[in-house]
Amino acid sequence: MTVANIAKKIQNKHNLNHIYAHNVARSFAYMDNFSIGMEDESLKEKPKPFVKWVGGKRQLLVQFKLRNLYPPEKFNLINGRYFEPFVGGGAVFFDLLPEKAFLSDLNNELVITYNVIKNNIDELAKSLKKHKYEKEYFLKIRTKDPKKLSDIEVASRFIYLNRTCFNGMYRVNSKGGFNVPFGKYSNPLICDEQNLRRVSKVLKNVEIKCQDYKEVLKKAKKGDFVYFDPPYFPVSKTASFTSYTKEAFLEKEQIELRNTFLELHKRGCFVMLSNSDTSLINNIYSGHKGVRITKVEAGRAINSKASGRGKITEVLVTNY
């Protein structure tokens, strides 16, 4: 039986979208164990991001779709390649579940975690189940130096801290040390094993690397779809939130990113980029043939002052 036939059966049986069904069928075909695919009830649900990530795009995706901004109509989800060079929690990747994807980010611990979920899910689940939700224990884990840990330990610590720290934030100090305080939850789910297993399956054919976004220029070709979700240009001096990594991402970096956007546009890639609705961003993306700026409404809660938490607009820049 071909992968396409298997996909059709899985799609009908579990009422899934065809791309996801195709992905699942392929991973089962590789494992030569198609029968498991048909019986596995857990397939009914799509995997979702396994970390909470500031700037996560899940609520915005609905608006993107309603306004026909995503996915690009002419992008071929089965044969086309998808690049997400600021992947973070990967909300768009997990929504799209393309057949061929290249994910990357400059946050090394995050990238190690993706790869451990992809390649070593059993050991990771075992390690996650050992964690305790206690402040003293949290602080002990937080002080550990990830450079001295194995990849499984890095991933386990990363997910544990994300699930138990204040607001699920990721913030590092100038030396790169994680410094978010303990968070108060009633019963945080540290090991969401079912979701992690689903994530592991869909990552099987995905390349995940720790690298600068500009590396995308080395691989992306005409017809590929590239989504940029960079650290946003701050709306005001006090609202700045650029500490995902110890490197800053300010005006100079935003202009370099715009140049990368235009280079991919020239090549014939489908390019989509999110950013803040600020004059700098509007200026640097205006006046380029074929490039369109759309304003979308976003409810974001990064600002610590309640007054800063209302609905604000963001921009979505597209070349299609």
By CB under 6 A, residue 168 contacts ligand SAM? no
Which residue bears the tokens 């790169």? 176
Half-sphere exposure of 172 (CA within 13 A, CB side): 18
Residue 297 has phi, psi (to 5 degrees) of: -90, 135
Cβ neighbours of residue 207 under 8 Å, at least 6 residues apart?
A: 101, 102, 103
Stretch that binds ligand SAM, among 26-34, 142-150, 227-235, 309-317 (CB under 6 A): 227-235
Nearest to 274 by CA among 92, 94, 108, 102: 92
- Please select the residue that binds ligand SAM; options are 99, 109, 224, 229, rule is CB under 6 A: 229
Task: Based on DSSP, count helices (H) and strands (E) in the chain, helices before strands.
Answer: 13, 7
Give the x-and-dash track for 246-285 against ligand SAM (CB under 6 A).
---x------------------------------------
Here the contacts of 102-106 (C-beta below 8 Å, separation 24 or greater) are 102/206, 102/207, 102/209, 102/216, 102/219, 103/206, 103/207, 103/208, 103/209, 104/208, 104/209, 104/210, 104/211, 104/213, 104/215, 104/216, 105/210, 106/210, 106/211, 106/212, 106/213, 106/244, 106/245, 106/247
By CB under 6 A, residue 213 contacts ligand SAM? yes
- Is the distance from CB of 274 to CB of 229 less than 8 angstroms? yes
Stretch that binds ligand SAM, among 22-30, 123-131, 183-191, 224-232 (CB under 6 A): 224-232
- Please select the residue that binds ligand SAM; options are 11, 27, 107, 318, rule is CB under 6 A: 107
d(CA 255, CA 80): 28
- Please select the residue that binds ligand SAM; options are 198, 231, 317, 320, rule is CB under 6 A: 231
Which is closer to ligand SAM, CB of 212 or CB of 297? 212
Q: What minimum distance in Å lies between the beta carbon of 192 and ligand SAM?
A: 16
d(CA 175, CA 172): 7
Cβ neighbours of residue 2 under 8 Å, at least 6 residues apart?
A: none
Which is closer to ligand SAM, CB of 10 or CB of 92? 92
Q: What minimum distance in Å lies between the beta carbon of 95 and ligand SAM?
A: 9
Q: Which of residues 124-143 bind ligand SAM (CB under 6 A)?
A: none
Stretch that binds ligand SAM, among 40-48, 125-133, 242-250, 259-267 (CB under 6 A): 242-250
Which is closer to ligand SAM, CB of 50 or CB of 320? 50
- Please select the residue that binds ligand SAM; options are 7, 25, 43, 91, rule is CB under 6 A: 91
- Please select the residue that binds ligand SAM; options are 37, 72, 88, 183, rule is CB under 6 A: 88
d(CA 268, CA 286): 19
Q: Which of residues 40-59 bind ligand SAM (CB under 6 A)?
A: 53, 55-57
Which is closer to ligand SAM, CB of 6 or CB of 161? 161
By CB under 6 A, residue 71 contacts ligand SAM? no
**Residues at the interface with ligand SAM (CB under 6 A):** 53, 55-57, 85-86, 88-91, 105-107, 212-213, 229-231, 244-245, 249
